[in-house]
Amino acid sequence: MIDTLKKQALEAILNAESLEQLDEVRVRYLSKKGEVSLLMGKLRDIPQEERPQFGALVNSLKETIELALYQKKQGLEDQALWVALSKEKIDVTLPGYQLYQGGVHPLNQVIEDMEDLFVGLGFEVATGPELENDHYNFEMMNLDKDHPARAMQDSFYVDENLLLRTHTSPVQARTMLEKQGKPLRIICPGKVYRRDDDDPTHSHQFMQIEGLVIDESITFANLKDSLLTMVKHLFGPERIIRLRPSYFPFTEPSVEVDVSYQKKDGTLGWIEILGAGQVHPNVLKMGGYDPKKFRGFAFGVGVERITMLKYKIDDIRHFYTNDLRFLNQFKGASK
Ligand code: PHE
């Protein structure tokens, strides 16, 4: 009796041509009032000792039917998918969606370009936190708590010891400590903050690229050559630079660097672009380098300033107001 039922059920499953038909088979055999349940109901008419064996047989019948139903269902579903796919055609005449593509911000384009240049010259790219300790931002840079030169960099303090970094120079100190007295060459691009009223040439937030090289035989000539290479790369091979004596607490001697440009009347003009100098012995010492053995040079260049000069931009605020009419002009300019 069980065998006959099994045969019938499997045959019905095999012959089902659609998911609906298959479900009818399931109902007929496995639902509460289905054939298999009826069979279970017969348990009562069977002698006591044969009941366990009978029960087991009915259960195995149920499992066989369930498995067969499952497999058939998968088959029918696959088939339905194939039929649906073969009926569908792609209409290639429909116009596509226009996806809006952004571009790299002009400041980041200049930073990426500088990174490419300096990595090619053997520099590493270093980073540091924008929320910085007074210790790294000033003290390790040879600016004591009451150093008057702190006034050159009006700062946003969070508490007595924490501030938004006023320059990328603290990354010099951090890197020196990290390198533990080994020669190093880094550039460090990043945001800096100073208390300032925003106007066409001032912004309370701007970007710098710091450069630092420490080795045993570094001279001022190395600094000058690196800066000249940078300026020619940025603005063109016809440019030259001029160094003017200046003062920074962390470099000695210090210079301000101007880049040449041709004035309308054909004469040579100069525009200041960065500060630089030979690393001060105190800074070397605090960073763990013996100033008798090691020398270094450092520079800090304003990214907005060089970008404005490069692309003839007249207002620093354009970089931060997200006006697409401005930004779209730089799309595709990146390499
Ligand atoms: N940190 C200086 C500034 O922000 C720039 C600088 C860096 C000067 C390194 C000399 C050496 O003004």
Model pLDDT for residues 284-312, shown as the tens digit of each residue: 999 999 999 999 999 999 999 999 999 99
- For 245, the enclosing helix (H) or strand (E) is strand 241-248
Residues 115 and 55 in one domain: no
What's the CA-to-centroid distance between 305 and ligand 1, angstroms? 14
Instruction: Give the mutation target among 153, 248, 284 for probing the ligand 1 site: most ligand atoms within 8 A of CB.
Output: 248
Residues 186 and 235 in one domain: yes
Mean pLDDT of 248-253: 97
Residue 334 pLDDT > 70: no
Ligand 1 in contact with 296 (CB < 6 A)? no
Residue 335 pLDDT > 80: no
What's the CA-to-centroid distance between 319 and ligand 1, angstroms? 22
Return the ligand 1 atom nearest residue 167 CA. 4
Residue 253 pLDDT > 90: yes
Asked if residues 308 and 316 have their Cβ atoms less than 8 Å apart, the reply is yes
Token pair listed for 7: 């045969």
Residues 31 and 114 in one domain: no
What's the CA-to-centroid distance between 250 and ligand 1, angstroms? 8
pLDDT at 122: 97
Residue 191 pLDDT > 80: yes
Mean pLDDT of 80-89: 86
Half-sphere exposure of 149 (CA within 13 A, CB side): 14
Mean pLDDT of 198-202: 92
Return the ligand 1 atom nearest residue 275 CA. 8
Return the ligand 1 atom nearest residue 192 CA. 4
Question: Mind listing the pLDDT tens digit for each residue in 100-140?
Answer: 888 999 999 999 999 999 999 999 999 999 999 999 999 99
CA 64 from centre of chain: 55
Residue 27 pLDDT > 80: yes
Residues 283 and 223 in one domain: yes
Question: Mind listing the pLDDT tens digit for each residue in 129-175?
Answer: 999 999 999 999 999 988 888 888 888 999 999 999 999 999 999 99
Mean pLDDT of 196-200: 92
CA dihedral over 38, 44, 47, 49, signed as positive or negative: positive
Q: Which residue has the higher pLDDT, 128 or 98?
A: 128
- Residue 202's φ and ψ, nearest 5 degrees, are -125, 140
pLDDT band per the 50, 70, 90 thresholds, residue 281? very high
Residues 70 and 182 in one domain: no
Whether the predicted model's global pTM rises above the 0.75 cut: no
Asked if residues 286 and 170 have their Cβ atoms less than 8 Å apart, the reply is no
Q: How far apart are CA 39 and CA 43, in angstroms?
A: 7
Q: How far apart are CA 331 and CA 107, in angstroms?
A: 12
Asked if residues 173 and 286 have their Cβ atoms less than 8 Å apart, the reply is yes
Where helices occur in 202-280 by DSSP H, the ranges are 220-235
Instruction: Give the mutation target among 169, 230, 278, 297 for probing the ligand 1 site: most ligand atoms within 8 A of CB.
Output: 169
- For 175, the enclosing helix (H) or strand (E) is helix 170-179
Q: How far is CA 194 from CA 71, 152, 160, 201, 206, in A?
A: 71, 10, 16, 13, 8
What is the number of structural domains in the chain? Answer: 2
Residues 45 and 138 in one domain: no
Query: Helix crossing, 106-120 with 220-235: angle to 10°?
Result: 130
Residue linked to tokens 């940078």: 230
Residues 67 and 19 in one domain: yes
Residue 267 pLDDT > 90: yes
Domain ends where: 40, 56, 87?
A: 87
pLDDT at 333: 64
pLDDT at 295: 97
Residue closest by Cα to atom 7 of ligand 1: 300
Residues 117 and 202 in one domain: yes
Q: How far apart are CA 222 and CA 108, in angstroms?
A: 27
Q: First and final CA of the chain: distance in angstroms?
A: 80
- 35 is in which domain, residue-wise? 2-87
Residue 180 pLDDT > 80: yes
Ligand 1 in contact with 251 (CB < 6 A)? yes
Residue closest by Cα to atom 4 of ligand 1: 167
pLDDT at 93: 84
